Amino acid sequence: MSNAHVVKAEEVQMYSILSPDGEVLNKKDLPDLSDDQLKELMRRMAFTRTWDERAVNLGRQGRLGFYAPVSGQEATMIGSEFALEKEDFVCPGYRDMPQIVWHGLPLYQAFLYSRGHQHGGQIPEDVNVLMPQIIIGAQILHATGIAMGFKKRGKKNVAITYTGDGGSSQGDFYEGMNFAGVFKLPVIYVVQNNGYAITTPYAKQTAAQSIAHKAVAAGIRGVQVDGMDVLAVYKAVQEAAERGRNGEGATLIEAITYRYRPHSMADDASKYRTKEEENEWALKDPLVRFRKFLGDKGLWSEEDDARVKEEAKAAVNEHIKKAEQTEKMTIPGLIDSMFETTPQHLEEQKKDFQ
């Protein structure tokens, strides 16, 4: 068979701004952020790391339900959300609670969501997020539809959605990107490639050179970024958002990152990951890297770390108590929460539980 018509995709190179030891690789790449914005990025990452540690413990105590740890992925989560505007829409997967909390969802409602309480999903009207999607990849379609709505209404907003490397094997992933490519929609697809889809290693997930290459078939822009580098993630998402607002279409961003803890607290990562691998990724820790960068600029200190850690602990304690003090769910209340006006046949069924 002739190779005359075989399409050869260009090689994708991972985009970084900071080296693992916090040195700037190219000053021209630095995003235009003030000192206060840089410190806020660090504060949010440090806060999220402590929140994650406390949430894991709360889960072990039976005070939370399902919880997916995030430590190691803070740069991708925090850097991407920080590049958005309040009117932009965030469509998360089940590990992406930090993005929607920093986008405006009260923390106690995130805890209620984990506890299976209906109020956890009652999003304030001025907060543009959906609740975390449990069905793998379904959020891809939601973000694509929201982006279509933005385009039809002539709004200069973008939708952003997240999944893992495992989510890139779902049909929804390809369908959403194909639709966005055809209609040049203002949507950003972020794949947090942490090397494993639960226990399945990336090498068994796809034969493609990278997940970013998958953008080629959809006719959208594909980028691979160092997901442990908060500045690189911020800039990649900022540029993708600008393209979306300007009518230039969608972007697929593959963020190469690592999840330090197991897939969930029901998982034993030691059965499929080695200590050598974990130690290698620990050297690329996003908090250590950015802390070194800020420290060299005189913008961050050990005292700042301690202050944020105490701030996060206090916030988690306050919000878990508020979640625990929320009135317990009832079946009639659950039925009423599903409708603006409860249908008559359900009103009759409610009587059985009163």
Catalytic amino acids? Answer: 259, 263, 272
Give the whole-angstrom CA distance, residue 161 versus residue 159: 7
Tell which residue, 167, 222, 253, has the closest CA to residue 9. Answer: 222
Three-state SS at 188 = strand
Beta-strand relationship, 187-193 and 251-256? parallel
> Exposed, middle or buried: residue 104 (CB in 10 Å: 0-12, 13-18, 19+)?
middle
Beta-strand relationship, 196-197 and 89-91? unpaired
Cβ-based neighbours of 174, under 8 Å, separated by 6 or more: 214, 217, 218
Give the whole-angstrom CA distance, residue 339 versus residue 226: 44
**Alpha helices, H only, the chain:** 35-60, 74-82, 97-102, 107-114, 138-152, 171-183, 215-218, 230-245, 275-282, 286-296, 302-325, 331-337, 344-350
Beta-strand relationship, 221-226 and 200-201? unpaired
Q: What are phi and psi of 44, to 5 degrees?
A: -65, -40
